[in-house]
Amino acid sequence: MLAMTIEQLPDALVNQIAAGEVVERPASIVKELVENALDAGASRVLVEIEQGGVRRVRVRDNGIGIVRDELALALTRHATSKIRSSDDLMRVASMGFRGEALPSIASVSRLRLTSRARGVDTAWTVECDLDGTPSEPKPAAHDEGTTVEVADLFFNLPARRKFLRAERTEFDHVQQVVRRLALVRPDVAFDLVHNRKSVQRWSDVPDGLAAVRMREVLGPAFADNAFHVSHDLDGIRLSGWIAQPTFSRSQADLQYFYVNGRLVRDRLVSAAVKRAYSDVLYHGRHPAYALFLELDAERVDVNVHPAKSEVRFRDTRRVFDAIHRALTRALSALRPGDGDVVEAPGSPAAMLSAVAPDRADAETTAPLQSSFGLATVAARRPAVADQRAAYASLLRATDTGADHHADALPPLGLALAQIHGIYILAETADGVILVDMHAAHERVTYERLKQQYAAQGVRSQPLLVPVVVAVSEAEADVAESVAPTLSAVGLGVDRTGPQQLTVREVPVLLRRSPTEQMVRDVLSDIVETGDSDRVARDSDRVLSTMACHGSVRANRHLTRDEMNALLRDMETTPNSGQCNHGRPTWVRLGVSDLDHLFLRGQ
Ligand code: ADP
Ligand code: MG
């Protein structure tokens, strides 16, 4: 053991230690500086980067600025204008509050801070010396607002510098940071410049047209497949966009979740979203979303993580429920025939892809109904040079477009034919649709089973001739022990021998299905799930398995009436745009798409 006296570390070293947590790479600097600009009320932020940010990061804003006498203070550790007391710490409303970013950054780079405070004639600048101590302020030329310039990152810490990656990679990180902030602040204009070339330029967007910024930041593919959600429960407000389940991704790379304007990674949040999608998403796929949660600042603790990328909710259960409920509702509100107000002009490939509706029902969207219709239209239009003119035409489009094709035909139209024993072709008011009859029927059956189960248990009916099923002894044991669960899902099963079960009752909805196979699969589900408690809680899974067996098989001939009945059922069934495994149940081709394919009128 080394014997050493205890000594207070010098400030410069303390700052470097703090920088270890806060400043990982140029992108972290950009995050802190842009957050400061936003806290200062800026409406324009210019981010200039050189060599991926390692050579230089410069962030300029038009916010309230800093007065001459506080310039040095801003660079001092634990100096902040954002909180004053521990009460304030319990309800932080700004992005920053730790008073650490500027001194930390100054301790590992060459930093210059220039600012002109609002209403003051002169701008002042301070520069930090090698150990981060600020110089005396000198007069400078600058408009109202602030510029922070950070050069030669880690010039004094060669070991950290070695961890920096290629210029391209570092710049990608910077770009990601700016995108994240731009997404949540459509009211602020952002400019991003790399090596003196403009890389991105986002103008500020008027109130209520956040969808325009969303499309710019997340791209047209997401925007075309996303629908707006808005939900308020117990003062927990959730809004934003979630993509159709059929627009799922192989990676969790299109997931943005903000809490009071702050992008966070949070296990609780991801779990709630995942749960909401679990019923409609193909196994192993990830949903895409940009969601904004707003709640009173007292209800969330932001003082959890040095880079402020995590939060702690004081009331986790409520938050979980609010998110889960909002999304489950929005997802199940996706019905055929809703939405589709404006046709997205697309390539034949895009036309043939699943275009399910993109509007949540009135209940879900009620608080934002007016801006929402607009947002939908905006989100489906390509970017237009003259924004103002575009907004005006969007307004007209929503005024007149809403109820255009509420013609005589129902939303999913009338069945014309069954094709290859698998698909139904139907004519709609403005085109044709193709339905995967098994997938669609499976969803309809599943949703009905769930409804019955939630109401008073799945309705069953006795079989005229009970079905005897030979099983293993282990399976017979399981069946015996979960008999109450089985009867809740409509299966009356008795053990009639060491290796024998007798099925006496089946769900009314499934009376024509192959009983033996269904019971076997349900049992193997239960064996896989483990204990019977979990089976009771995981009833959806069992119901989904049953629905799969209860649904029309390929090659079964359907009469025209049966086909139409299925279409009408789909129109009123939640989640009917996807089957239980998350595959689309129907696709459409509008007349305009057909014209396009045949090059008519071009
Ligand atoms: P924090 O943001 O946690 O307060 P910082 O070290 O990031 O800590 O900034 C210290 C202080 O400097 C802020 O509280 C703010 O008063 C001031 N400041 C920093 N950047 C700006 C800016 N762009 N415009 C106006 N004031 C700023
Ligand atoms: Mg800050």
Q: Model confidence over 307-361: pLDDT tens digits?
A: 888 899 999 989 999 999 999 988 887 755 443 322 233 323 233 333 333 333 3
Q: Is 102 in the pocket of ligand 1 (CB under 6 A)?
A: yes
Question: Could you identify the residue written with the tokens 């949903």?
Answer: 287
Q: What is the Cα–Cα distance from 98 to 384, expressed in whole angstroms? A: 41
Q: 57 CA distance to ligand 1 centroid (A)?
A: 16
Higher-confidence residue: 559 or 341?
559
Q: 207 CA distance to ligand 2 centroid (A)?
A: 26
Residue 387 has pLDDT above 70, yes or no: no
Q: What integer pLDDT is reported at residue 395 of this predicted model?
A: 34
Residue 110 has pLDDT above 90, yes or no: yes
Per 3-state DSSP, the chain is made up of helix, strand and coil in percentages (nearest 5) of 40, 20, 35
Is the separation of the CB atoms in 62 and 43 below 8 Å? yes
Q: Is 99 in the pocket of ligand 1 (CB under 6 A)?
A: yes
Helix (H) or strand (E) holding 429: none
Whether the model clears a pTM of 0.85, i.e. scores above it, the answer is: no
69: confidence class by pLDDT, cuts 50, 70, 90: very high
Q: Which atom of ligand 1 is nearest to the CA of 98?
A: 3
Higher-confidence residue: 414 or 206?
414
Give, using CA atoms, the residue closest to atom 21 of ligand 1: 36
Q: What is the Cα–Cα distance from 338 to 459, expressed in whole angstroms? A: 31
Q: 202 CA distance to ligand 1 centroid (A)?
A: 24
Q: Which atom of ligand 1 is nearest to the CA of 63?
A: 24
Q: What integer pLDDT is reported at residue 602 of this predicted model?
A: 62
Six-digit token pair at 55?
């050579």
Ligand of minimum distance to the alpha carbon of 103: 1
Tell me the sheet residues that pair with 493. Answer: 503
Q: How far is CA 18 from CA 100, 464, 590, in A?
A: 8, 76, 59
Q: 18 CA distance to ligand 2 centroid (A)?
A: 13
Q: What integer pLDDT is reported at residue 398 of this predicted model?
A: 35
Q: What integer pLDDT is reported at residue 249 of this predicted model?
A: 81
Is the separation of the CB atoms in 45 and 38 below 8 Å? yes
Q: What integer pLDDT is reported at residue 344 of this predicted model?
A: 30
Is the separation of the CB atoms in 365 and 339 below 8 Å? no
Q: What integer pLDDT is reported at residue 234 of this predicted model?
A: 82
Six-digit token pair at 323?
């998110």
Residues ≥6 apart with Cβ < 8 Å to 345: 382
Q: Is 15 in the pocket of ligand 1 (CB under 6 A)?
A: no
Q: Is 142 in the pocket of ligand 1 (CB under 6 A)?
A: no
CA dihedral 349, 350, 354, 358 (to 10 degrees): 180
Q: What integer pLDDT is reported at residue 522 of this predicted model?
A: 83
Q: Which atom of ligand 1 is nearest to the CA of 95?
A: 2
366: confidence class by pLDDT, cuts 50, 70, 90: very low
- Going by their DSSP bridges, the two strands 289-294 and 255-259 should be labelled as parallel
Pocket test for ligand 1, best of 23, 70, 80, 125 (most atoms within 8 A of CB): 80
CA-nearest of 351, 25, 45 to 167 is 25
Ligand of minimum distance to the alpha carbon of 75: 1
Residues ≥6 apart with Cβ < 8 Å to 494: 501, 502, 504
Residue 190 has pLDDT above 90, yes or no: yes
In the three-class reduction of DSSP (H, G, I as helix; E, B as strand; rest coil), residue 415 is classed as strand
Q: What is the Cα–Cα distance from 66 to 72, expressed in whole angstroms? A: 10
516: confidence class by pLDDT, cuts 50, 70, 90: confident
380: confidence class by pLDDT, cuts 50, 70, 90: very low
Q: Is 273 in the pocket of ligand 1 (CB under 6 A)?
A: no
Q: What integer pLDDT is reported at residue 536 of this predicted model?
A: 65
Q: What integer pLDDT is reported at residue 600 of this predicted model?
A: 81
Six-digit token pair at 432?
């044709």
- Going by their DSSP bridges, the two strands 44-50 and 189-194 should be labelled as parallel
Residue 382 has pLDDT above 80, yes or no: no
Q: What integer pLDDT is reported at residue 64 of this predicted model?
A: 97
Interval 539-556: pLDDT, tens: 888 888 888 877 766 667
Would you say the C-alpha torsion 442, 448, 452, 454 has a positive or negative sign?
positive
Higher-confidence residue: 107 or 340?
107
b/e for 208-241, b at 16 or more Cβ within 10 A?
Answer: bbbbbbbbbbbebebbbbbbbbbbeeeebbbbbb
- Going by their DSSP bridges, the two strands 189-194 and 197-202 should be labelled as antiparallel
Q: Is 65 in the pocket of ligand 1 (CB under 6 A)?
A: yes
Q: What integer pLDDT is reported at residue 456 of this predicted model?
A: 84
Angle 41-302-227 from CA coordinates, rounded to 5°: 70
Q: 415 CA distance to ligand 1 centroid (A)?
A: 64
Q: What integer pLDDT is reported at residue 38 of this predicted model?
A: 97
Interval 132-174: pLDDT, tens: 889 999 999 999 999 999 999 999 888 888 889 999 999 999 9
Q: Summarize the confidence of residues 437-454 as an average pLDDT.
A: 89
Q: What integer pLDDT is reported at residue 477 of this predicted model?
A: 87
Pocket test for ligand 1, best of 58, 70, 102 (most atoms within 8 A of CB): 102
Mean pLDDT of the chain: 82
Residue 131 has pLDDT above 70, yes or no: yes
Is the separation of the CB atoms in 24 and 104 below 8 Å? no
Q: Which atom of ligand 1 is nearest to the CA of 94?
A: 2
Q: Summarize the confidence of residues 511-519 as an average pLDDT.
A: 83
Pocket test for ligand 1, best of 31, 38, 39 (most atoms within 8 A of CB): 39
Residue 186 has pLDDT above 50, yes or no: yes
Residues ≥6 apart with Cβ < 8 Å to 156: 108, 130
Strands (E), 264-337: 289-294, 300-301, 312-313
Q: What is the Cα–Cα distance from 342 to 404, expressed in whole angstroms? A: 10
Residue 388 has pLDDT above 70, yes or no: no
CA-nearest of 349, 345, 342 to 398 is 342
Higher-confidence residue: 36 or 407?
36
Q: What integer pLDDT is reported at residue 46 of this predicted model?
A: 98
